[in-house]
């Protein structure tokens, strides 16, 4: 069993990509299931096989602990780790080759609290990979690109598994795509564009150098879930990591 986790900022397209990738694998005759780890999601564009909402109910948490929406989401995310055994048992019943795991919309609830790293380290499988999504509508600005790149670095540090960087919603930034890809390929291009930030340049340039040294973005793969452009490249990258290129 091989696990593909999808992470990224809220609205970056994790659920859409989960649906497209899992469907592609299924059409190729692979044994695939999907897992939803977002206790607060209301609807997703794919059929969920294993759903954290069957084990953790936000309304029950709000009523029992007298919490608001944010507090209940935090507690619900912490409780994910306590449900690992039940989730694994349900996954094992399917006996899949690949498991696509759609993580919570609020990335901090999964990556920065103990439950996310614990889940990844303790789930029984052969290999893991994390797909980190760069939302094209957010990273078309150089300072935003740098911020999300730093976030990607932090997520890789926290989860401690191989990571693939994916640019989503490329269909919405036709004019800026080449610029964004230049930033990921050559940070001197990013530094040049950051100079327009004036007083903040010294700070942002140091941050950019940190990202460059971390080599976090080996390749930024542009994708669109509208026409599935870039999906083949994503699948090839996944294969190189968890299937040894098969």
pLDDT in tens, 38-50: 998 989 999 999 9
Q: Is the pLDDT of residue 200 over 80?
A: no
| Of the residues 63, 95, 124, the one at which a domain ends | 124
113 and 192, same domain (yes or no): no
Sheet containing 50-51: give its strands across.
50-51, 32-36, 98-102, 2-8, 127-135, 163-168, 220-222
Cβ atoms of 128 and 49 within 8 Å: the answer is: no
What is the predicted pLDDT for the residue at 197?
58
109 and 28, same domain (yes or no): yes
Helix pair angle (187-194, 142-159), 10° resolution:
130
Q: Which of 156, 186, 152 is nearest to 166 (CA)?
A: 152
216 pLDDT band, cuts 50/70/90, is low
CATH number where 86 lies: 3.40.50.300
Q: Which residues of 24-33 are buried (b: 16+ CB within 10 A; e: fewer)?
A: bbeeeeeebb
Q: Which of 2, 13, 222 is nearest to 105 (CA)?
A: 13
- For the chain, the straight-line distance linking the first and the last C-alpha, in angstroms and rounded, comes to 15
**Residues whose CB is less than 8 angstroms from the CB of residue 40 and which lie 6 or more positions away in sequence, other chains included:** 58, 69, 73, 76, 104, 105
What is the predicted pLDDT for the residue at 120?
93
What is the predicted pLDDT for the residue at 20?
98
51 and 132, same domain (yes or no): no
Q: Is the pLDDT of residue 178 over 70?
A: yes
Structural domain containing residue 37: 7-124
In a domain, 245, yes or no: no
115 and 19, same domain (yes or no): yes
Count of domains forming the chain: 2
89 and 146, same domain (yes or no): no
183 and 196, same domain (yes or no): yes
104 and 201, same domain (yes or no): no
Q: 126-169: per-residue pLDDT in tens?
A: 899 999 999 999 999 988 998 899 899 899 999 999 999 999 99
138 and 204, same domain (yes or no): yes
């Amino acid at each position: 069993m091989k696990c593909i986790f999808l992470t990224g900022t809220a609205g970056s397209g994790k659920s859409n990509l989960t649906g497209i990738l899992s469907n592609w694998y299924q059409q190729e005759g692979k044994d695939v299931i999907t897992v939803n780890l977002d206790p607060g999601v209301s609807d997703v564009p794919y059929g969920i096989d294993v759903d954290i909402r069957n084990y953790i109910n936000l309304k029950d948490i709000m009523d029992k602990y007298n919490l608001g929406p944010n507090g209940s989401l935090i507690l619900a995310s912490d409780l994910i780790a306590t449900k690992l055994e039940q989730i694994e048992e349900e996954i094992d019943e399917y006996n899949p080759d690949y498991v696509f795991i759609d993580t919570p919309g609020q990335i901090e609830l999964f990556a920065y609290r103990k439950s996310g790293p614990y889940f990844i380290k303790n789930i029984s499988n052969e290999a893991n990979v994390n797909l980190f999504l760069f939302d094209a509508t957010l990273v078309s600005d150089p300072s935003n690109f740098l911020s999300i790149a730093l976030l990607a670095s932090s997520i890789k540090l926290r989860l401690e598994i191989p990571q693939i960087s994916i640019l989503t919603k490329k269909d919405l930034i036709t004019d800026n795509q080449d610029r964004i890809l230049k930033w990921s390929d050559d940070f001197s291009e990013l530094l040049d564009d950051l100079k327009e930030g004036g007083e903040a340049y010294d700070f942002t340039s140091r941050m950019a150098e940190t990202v460059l040294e971390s080599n976090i973005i080996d390749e930024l793969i542009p994708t669109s879930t509208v026409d599935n452009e870039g999906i083949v490249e994503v699948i090839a990258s996944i294969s190189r990591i968890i299937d040894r290129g098969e």
